[in-house]
Copies of this chain bind each other. A is one copy, B any other.
């Protein structure tokens, strides 16, 4: 296995194809590396020399006073072979080829790509790309990617065969105030493949979940062998596209990927413990679910809701996804009857009919979590104090106080839910709308930040909660199956 630390923890990097032209990738990517605060030495390379962003430019890698750990390469295809040769001669062992125009364009590009890889391998240099957006490694403050985005350090590792999908994932993570560990856009995978990074992230302490976007495999057998080991360490959540002819054809011209049979892929995922999802919303939602929650032991769900419709939507979604919306026992009914208003639903979902104060809802959540017939809880809505519903004050000071009350109620409820989840070791997935006074956009951001600081997330829709729990139950069941001794399987 190649030493991927040179990619993700480089002490120095050469940037080949540096440019002062704001429109060119040779400027944009370099500017991102600089703005991102990379702590090692940066050596921009351009035959014209000079200075870019205040950094002296070298005319060639051979002029650089040390052997850089990493080369970030954006030179055009016709200059690629010479550039790789320069790097190899210098002794560079790791290169990210961002440049497009290789195998994805057909035969001529394929030959050039092949030549490039052979040259690099002969010189002991590993390559990411070509035709990728670059990589992020937040622990190293390395933001060597085309789009201008700086996700903070965090638990989400990303392996994406599409640069812009990798970017979307990073943006989504930031929007809900979660950070990324490493984000790798693998491009055409001429040398290193998606599975190399899955393997790396599996043993990477910073990474808690691996989110992956896959168009096709260079070596499917190797991918699944590696993924099967990696999924024992942490969850791998994956979108596999090219499920249809139209998608497969698009994938081929995108990254020269051959998509393969979708049914076989599904079976392989099950065997390898990979959680397959089907769009980016699901990918993010499930990924964050794994980060924030203990695994459920099984599929039995208790649902508590502040509104009937959300409860029905959640129950429907659970049942459709194969989760078990458990029937409440007489003991539980009696316990709930003892303090809930007469009109509660007496059914799972437990519908509090918008009548519950914060403490009642939390009490119900705890009763469900303590009950040995549930494996997980879905909690819909966050109760806020009555004052939140009063006319919105015009006075600036009163306004601030009101906003603070709503924010505190929201975040305190999450804090309490976290405590219950930890006490009983069960996931509690919350979906809620924010009861925002009008025009308070900063409050929404404050609440998102407050909740993420608790390592929690507030989903926005009831069916999302069901989707997340199903994925977590699948992974949990997979891990449980691994515990069964080989000789007992099938009995």
Contact = CB atoms under 8 A, between A and B. Distances in A.
Which one of A164, A247, A253, A315 has the greatest number of beta carbons of chain B within 10 Å?
A: A164
Nearest to A109: B343
A281 B166 CA distance: 23
A250 B166 CA distance: 39
Interface string A153-173: 000000011111111100100
A354 B148 CA distance: 13
Contacts of A104: 343, 345
A309 B254 contact: yes
A308 B311 CA distance: 38
A318 B35 contact: no
B390 A22 contact: yes
A313 B162 CA distance: 10
Contact of A347 (B249, B320, B354): B249
A166 to B, nearest CB: 8
Interface string A231-256: 00000000101111111011101110
A42 to B, nearest CB: 15
Interface in A308-332: 308-313, 315-320, 325
Nearest to A327: B249
A306 interface: yes
Contacts of A171: 433
A333 interface: no
A195 interface: no
Contacts of A389: 22, 28, 31, 147-148
Interface stretch (A9-17, A115-123, A437-445): A437-445
A87 interface: no
Given A160-B309, A461-B280, A253 B319 contact: no
Interface string A6-42: 0000000000000000110000100100110000000
A101 interface: yes
A245 B324 CA distance: 11
Given A347-B249, A438-B150, A441-B441, A311 B101 contact: no
Interface in A49-85: none
A313 B214 CA distance: 11
Interface string A343-357: 101111101011000
A391 interface: yes
A346 B316 contact: no
Nearest to A133: B354
A392 B463 CA distance: 38
A320 B253 contact: no
Question: What number of copies of this chain does the assembly contain?
Answer: 2
Contacts of A349: 250
Given A35-B391, A246-B318, A438-B150, A308 B445 contact: no
A31 to B, nearest CB: 6
A385 to B, nearest CB: 9
A290 interface: no
Interface of A: 22-23, 28, 31, 34-35, 100-101, 104-105, 146-148, 150, 160-168, 171, 213, 215, 239, 241-247, 249-251, 253-255, 279-281, 306-313, 315-320, 325, 342-343, 345-349, 351, 353-354, 381, 386-392, 433, 435, 438, 441-442, 445, 461, 463
Given A254-B312, A280-B313, 9 more contacts: A100-B343, A100-B353, A163-B354, A213-B309, A250-B325, A250-B349, A253-B346, A254-B345, A254-B351
The 9 A-B pairs at the shortest CB distance, nearest first, are namely A162-B309, A164-B307, A247-B316, A244-B319, A254-B308, A165-B309, A246-B325, A23-B386, A246-B319
19 contacts: A23-B386, A31-B391, A100-B343, A146-B354, A147-B389, A164-B307, A166-B309, A168-B309, A213-B309, A239-B313, A241-B312, A244-B316, A246-B315, A250-B308, A250-B345, A250-B348, A254-B308, A279-B313, A279-B461
